[in-house]
Amino acid sequence: MIDRYALPELSEMFSERRKLELWLRIELLAVEALHAAGVVPTADWKRIRATATEVDPVRAREIEQESQHDIIAFLRSVTERLGAEGRWLHYGLTSSDVLDTATAVVLRDATGVVEAELGRLVGVVRRLAIEHRHTPMVGRSHGIHAEPITFGFKVAGWYAELLRDAERLVRAREGIAVGSISGAVGTHANVSGALERHVLDGLGLTPDAAPTQVVSRDRHAELLTTLAILGGTLERIAVEIRHLQRTEVSEAFEPFGSGQQGSSAMPHKRNPILAERVTGMARLLRGDALIGLENMALWHERDISHSSAERFVFERALGVAAYATRTLGDIIDGLEVDADRMRDNLEQLGGMVYSEALLLAMIAKGADRQAAYRLVQGAAKRAWSGEVSFGAALRADPAVGEWLSSEEIERAMSLEHHLAGIEVTYRALVLDGAQEPRIADAPLG
């Protein structure tokens, strides 16, 4: 992960130091289990425990230059400080037992960081939805004015989707928190199930029920695709904010610092750079999901075609997801909403946004649907041409008057009528201003 977007807590989880610590912990837990089973003499276990307390990363790298094998280099760097008792390290294990199990710890913990950032984002989005529950604006389809909504209703849709992302992320974290200490091809031929349980219990992992030499990569693919779906949600929200900040719309704006500068050439610019950054990061997450899917099809009980890709993809995907989620949380937390501009834009078409209500009112009175449609559309066309307002065009048309009085036209063009139904969504999501639910307890919408 490049420094520009790195979160320190995640960088530490993926550090070389942390990796070697986990490898050593796995090896020591395995020897501890062998000692408990009566395989390793007590004197040997005591010497190993007293001496093998840390790994020299410099020495490990030196040995790897010769051996071209990172686990062998690690083991040699540890055992060269031991005597004959060093033979018990890695007894019955294979490299993937150590690699995959350590990776599971890192991925579980790093996913927890993303979960924490997502929890914060869910909270600020929830508050925004409640705050703007009754802030009217125009709903748009195909980028064109459609019917009235409220800004809070729009945000409630974000909230519901983020809750689903949170549920998916919990499942993916549980699915990745799986290790394997099962030997060369996963058969436990030279390592017992009891030893495996001891090691994994010590790390807070569960055993893979059916490993090969590796933990099956569908678990890793699930995590990466879950992050990509989360990225899609973040992008959807970010793109919406970018559209709302366009000069022609100007309804909502991401935060802009007092000393911030938007353009090297144009001093007036206030660009939605944070939302654009989130958009770009979602593209990375989709690409990383593809890598996870490609890594599923390994040869027989294992090859290492996945290895080189995974040295990049896990840290990058989790780092990008955490950073993008935090960034969007900052955007939402500081979002500037122009309610007056929203109202102005809603009224821009002079009531044409109520065309469906007028159509339905005529149908309810007995009008043919297509005939009524043409009457409302004709009034809209006259209003678009500028010859008359939409309401005046309706009231002046005797064919419309056969079905609707002026008072009925006015009732059909009621903002309150159109917005009353949003309460269905607010009730479903429990968006009533009450205490925020924990993610695990929140309704999925």
Q: Which residues are catalytic?
A: 142, 263
Burial 304-337 (b: 16+ CB within 10 A, else e): eebeeebeebbbbbbbbbbbbbbbbbbbbeebeb
Instruction: Give DSSP secondary structure letters for 157-225.
Output: HHHHHHHHHHHHHHHHHHHH-EE----TTSS-SSS-HHHHHHHHHHHT-EE-SS-SSS--THHHHHHHH
Q: How far apart are CA 439 and CA 445, in angstroms?
A: 12
Cβ atoms of 74 and 20 closer than 8 Å: yes
CA distances from 416 to 150, 342, 430 (A): 11, 16, 21
SS3 per-residue string spanning 96-144: HHHHHHHHHHHHHHHHHHHHHHHHHHHHHHHHHHHHCCCCEEEEEECCE
